[in-house]
Structure 1
Amino acid sequence: MNPQGERWTTDQVLALAPDEASRKAGGRLAAPGPWSETGADEGAVWGQCKGSGKKPYQAVVDIKGPAFKCSCPSRKFPCKHALGLLLLWAGEERAVAAGEPPQWAGEWLAGRRERAERSAGAPSGGGAPSRVPADPEAARRRAERRMQRIGAGATELEQRLEDLLHSGLASADRADGRGSWDETAARMVDAQAPGLAARVRELGSVVASGPDWPARLLEECALLHLLDQGFLGIERLPAPLAATVRSRVGLTTEAADLLTGPDAATVRDRWLVLAQQDSEDGKLTTRRIFLRGERTGRMALHLSFGASHHPLDLALPPGLVLDADLAYYPGARPLRAALGERHAPAAPGPVPPGCGVDAALAAYGDALRDDPWLDSWPVVLADVTPIPGRDGAGWQLADADGESALPLDPRCLGRTSLWQLAAISGGSPITVFGECGHRGFLPLTAWDPTPVSL
């Protein structure tokens, strides 16, 4: 084995960057000039980067996490120094020599190893967070009270939808229309139903948002009505569908319960990282990591949340393979999963197998049948070529035989991702991972032959 471990690609490093500015700043530091005392071993990379002060910044990366530490004051994780160090290490083998970490890097790495060992040896197993046992009776009473509050909120929302339909959808296009929806969403928050609140806000954004908005508003109202009715009659639903309804209104399951509870069921596989996406909503950062099981072929979505500009628990660039246990959250079409025990460090993986356009649409249709509130379903498309649509109407991904094509989601039009996709293809078929939904296909990663985040 390479004494420095499996070397990452430049695209895998850049996929970790929190924003475009960090990518550019890290790229400027991807040269030996500002660095000193660099080194690497099988699990880490370290070095000192000259800055504006007298003392250089000390940066170290645990590539098995990955995790990052730097003495600079940046609030971005990873910072430009960590990115520059990784780019230097990934770019040329001789740029960062193998060696033993200095004291300042070794202490931090040793602390991480000790915490990992304690977590692995804990009774909860697999690194799942341990919790103080709760009073079962008190927990049952709290759950009942919340169900009652959500039920009252769903009943109130049904009345709001009925009033809207009686007065006509055109009545939603009023000066105070958006304020009315915001007020209704706030009422759903008070009812402890954040899922209903989010869908109500979406209704407010549809009003007067472009041509045919009344038709789209009617569609969203119908889906919201279906969710309301599903929750109000949840005791009559099959268990998987009832679990889906509970998650859609905002009732969540603790990851520790999934991994270590009495009904815990984990799936071990070699999980290929297909994409990692960060999005910010105010002060909250959400990270979505898409995975595909090498043996099972199952898709999985790992979600993590944190304060804006603070490091999240897990960072996995596309193209890595993770030998680990996953526990799926309950539902009629399980996708979200909690990460359990990791049996080996992440390592570079192969290009994932994919399907054609027709199979991708069928996969989305099957998922939508089980969960009618799905916006999209993750799929890997193989041997597709980006082409302009007819009469200049957007872009499409066409099968190799040219008989089937999938329109690209309008959200990617005009973005650099579209031109990246076209440049990677160069008119030839490629493998693309993304989300197939009612808006079209939203590309997230392409292979050329290594993964490129779009």
Structure 2
Amino acid sequence: MTQQGVRWTADQVLALAPDAASREAAGRLATAGPWSEVGSTDGGTVWGVCRGGGGGPYRTVVDVADASGPACTCGCPSLRYPCKHALGLLLLWTGGDGAVPEGEPPAWAERWVTGRREDAEAAAGTETAETGAAETEAAGAEAVETGAAGAEAAAGAAGDPSGSVSRIRDPVAARRRAERRAERITAGATELEQRLADLLRGGLAEAEQTGYAWWEETAARMVDAQAPGLASRVRELGSTASSGPDWPVRLLEECALLHLLDQGWLRRDRLPEDLAATVRTRVGLSATADGPAVRDQWLILAQYDSVDARLTTRRVWLYGTETGRTALLLSYGAAGRAPELTLPVGLSLDAELSTYPGGGRRRAALGKRFAPPAPVEIRPKGVTPSQALARYGRALRDDPWLESVPVTLEQVVPVPDGDSWQLADASGETALPLTPAFGNRAGLWRLVALSGGVPVQVFGECGHRGFTPLTAWPAGPGQAVSLN
């Protein structure tokens, strides 16, 4: 919020929820009944006391105007962030019907907001000082930042179980560690090639009989080789075997892609630099965001989480309203906990981004933020379904293991196609099938209701499984609607 008095929409609030259960619980708290002592300021602070069933009442404060992003505190014991009370309070506030009047915050709310902003300023000052000092230190000091699979990779290489950022003072020792790890990955990739050859020599039917234990044991060998990216792909192979009709075809395709990644690593010195960087990332090596910082008004296109037994991964798609670039932010939380980075869909962020190496250079690191998220009328440029497919095809040349690319479809209508759905252009000549997983979500019916048979604009991910809608805009003026 940079404009005083501008409130978020309910969709923007619900996009902050860590999971579906939190969204549902927040909806039940979006009424005045459970709340007392509620209020807000035009500077972006909202507070209230919620009557709780498990030992409340709970004092809740939300700061939506801080440049470092929306944050909240609550007296409840929930491990989810934001908790249902913070989300419910924001939903009550978005109603704009006087349920949350403007006023002076109570002392307990003021103390938290003031303390948080002072801490943020102090942290920013410390970071600036450390950056300046680092630049004057002996050449060769190297910062290693963990990435998607790099969290596990860095932990294995540096003995740091937290996967946090570390600074290596001795460049010679760092090079030796990198060389030893590369040797271990090469040994792991060579072993994996032999295992894949044995699998194909015995026939894919044998994969159905061996069960998941063989795949898990192979994945464990790749973890030992400090190649978590290879381990992750092996586990996916294990879940593909006996996974339904035509599973041998899918298994063969995935085996071929894993073989290609193995060969890419073993011949990485012969690859173009961007492709070699992609291979390093795919096997699990971490990288730093080495691209130049680009400042723009970044439209927050979508935000969603994927969860496994060990990690919660949050993906945030941004669109540069001036540069026209689409960028991906990744953040992580331990199993069962949402990542801290939270950006409301539909607003724009005045900030700097730096890209990571690799084909396409879509992944980026969020740098300095110059203002909190604010409303914007601009929408991303769209393409036709056929152009979206062509874009994915071109992207595969830079990254053959790419599951999908970010695409905004212009003037499309959701239409049924037998037991599934597709997005057809206004003329009805071309269409993209929706991914099967999306067809089972409530977001599909939200998209159908938003369209009502009229062409709309839809942002999502286009890949070999189809198109997954993430955000949509109505035909006329209106706010972005999250479809997660």
Q: TM-score range by the shorter chain?
A: over 0.9
Within 2, Cα distance between the matches of 1:308 and 1:76? Answer: 11
Which amino acid in the other structure matches residue 321 of structure 2?
E
Within 1, Cα distance between the matches of 2:333 and 2:5? Answer: 30
Which amino acid in the other structure matches residue 303 of structure 1?
L
Which amino acid in the other structure matches residue 339 of structure 1?
L
Cα-Cα RMSD: 2.1
Give the CA deviation at 1:280. Answer: 1.8
Which residue pairs with 1:327 in the alignment? Answer: 354
The number of residues matched between the two structures is 443
Which residue pairs with 1:427 in the alignment? Answer: 453
Which amino acid in the other structure matches residue 396 of structure 2?
L
Within 1, Cα distance between the matches of 2:258 and 2:167? Answer: 37
Within 2, Cα distance between the matches of 1:87 and 1:208? Answer: 44
Give the CA deviation at 1:20. Answer: 2.4
Within 1, Cα distance between the matches of 2:251 and 2:263? Answer: 18
Which residue pairs with 1:312 in the alignment? Answer: 339
Q: Does 1:277 align with 2:304?
A: yes
Q: Between the two proteins, what is the percent identity of the paired residues? A: 63
Q: How does 1:388-427 map to 2 (within 5 A)?
A: 388-389=416-417, 392-427=418-453
Which residue pairs with 2:136 in the alignment? Answer: none
Within 2, Cα distance between the matches of 1:2 and 1:67? Answer: 16
Give the CA deviation at 1:93. Answer: 5.2
Which residue pairs with 2:123 in the alignment? Answer: 119
Q: Which of residues 196, 202, 205 in structure 2 aligns to 1:170?
A: 205
Q: Which of residues 69, 89, 101 in structure 1 aligns to 2:73?
A: 69
Which amino acid in the other structure matches residue 194 of structure 2?
Q
Within 2, Cα distance between the matches of 1:103 and 1:59? Answer: 13
Give the CA deviation at 1:192. Answer: 0.6
With over 3 angstroms needed to count, the CA separation of the structure-2 counterparts of 1:283 and 1:187, relative to structure 1, is: closer
Contact 2:299 2:349 in 1 (8 A): yes
Within 2, Cα distance between the matches of 1:357 and 1:243? Answer: 30
With over 3 angstroms needed to count, the CA separation of the structure-2 counterparts of 1:374 and 1:55, relative to structure 1, is: closer
Bigger mean CA deviation after superposition, 362-371 or 46-55: 46-55
Which residue pairs with 2:20 in the alignment? Answer: 20
Which residue pairs with 1:46 in the alignment? Answer: 47
Contact 2:291 2:356 in 1 (8 A): no
Within 2, Cα distance between the matches of 1:376 and 1:301? Answer: 12
Which amino acid in the other structure matches residue 313 of structure 1?
E
Q: How does 1:100-115 map to 2 (within 5 A)?
A: 100-115=104-119
Give the CA deviation at 1:373. Answer: 0.3
Within 2, Cα distance between the matches of 1:134 and 1:349? Answer: 44
Within 2, Cα distance between the matches of 1:382 and 1:297? Answer: 15
Which consecutive segments of 4 or more residues in structure 1 shift more than 6 A?
Answer: none
Within 2, Cα distance between the matches of 1:54 and 1:189? Answer: 44
Which residue pairs with 1:341 in the alignment? Answer: 368
Contact 1:379 1:433 in 2 (8 A): yes
Q: Does 1:360 align with 2:388?
A: yes
Which residue pairs with 2:82 in the alignment? Answer: 78
Q: Deviations over 1:356-414 (max 9, x none)?
A: 1122112111111111000100111121001112xx15211000111111111111123
Give the CA deviation at 1:28. Answer: 2.0
Q: Which of residues 192, 206, 211 in structure 1 aligns to 2:245?
A: 211
Within 2, Cα distance between the matches of 1:308 and 1:161? Answer: 31
Q: Deviations over 1:192-238 (max 9, x none)?
A: 10110111111111212222222222211111111101101111111
Within 2, Cα distance between the matches of 1:161 and 1:29? Answer: 53
Within 1, Cα distance between the matches of 2:427 and 2:359? Answer: 34
Contact 1:4 1:40 in 2 (8 A): no
Contact 1:4 1:98 in 2 (8 A): no
SS at match of 2:437: helix
Structure 1 gap segments, 5+ residues each: none
Q: How does 1:159-238 map to 2 (within 5 A)?
A: 159-174=194-209, 176-238=210-272
Within 1, Cα distance between the matches of 2:451 and 2:268? Answer: 48
Give the CA deviation at 1:264. Answer: 5.1
Q: Does 1:303 align with 2:330?
A: yes
Which amino acid in the other structure matches residue 56 of structure 1?
P
Contact 2:2 2:371 in 1 (8 A): no
Which residue pairs with 2:409 in the alignment? Answer: 381
Which amino acid in the other structure matches residue 439 of structure 1?
R
Give the CA deviation at 1:308. Answer: 3.5
Give the CA deviation at 1:54. Answer: 7.7
Contact 2:2 2:373 in 1 (8 A): no
Within 2, Cα distance between the matches of 1:217 and 1:388? Answer: 29
Which amino acid in the other structure matches residue 188 of structure 2?
G
TM-score in terms of structure 2 length: 0.87
TM-score in terms of structure 1 length: 0.92
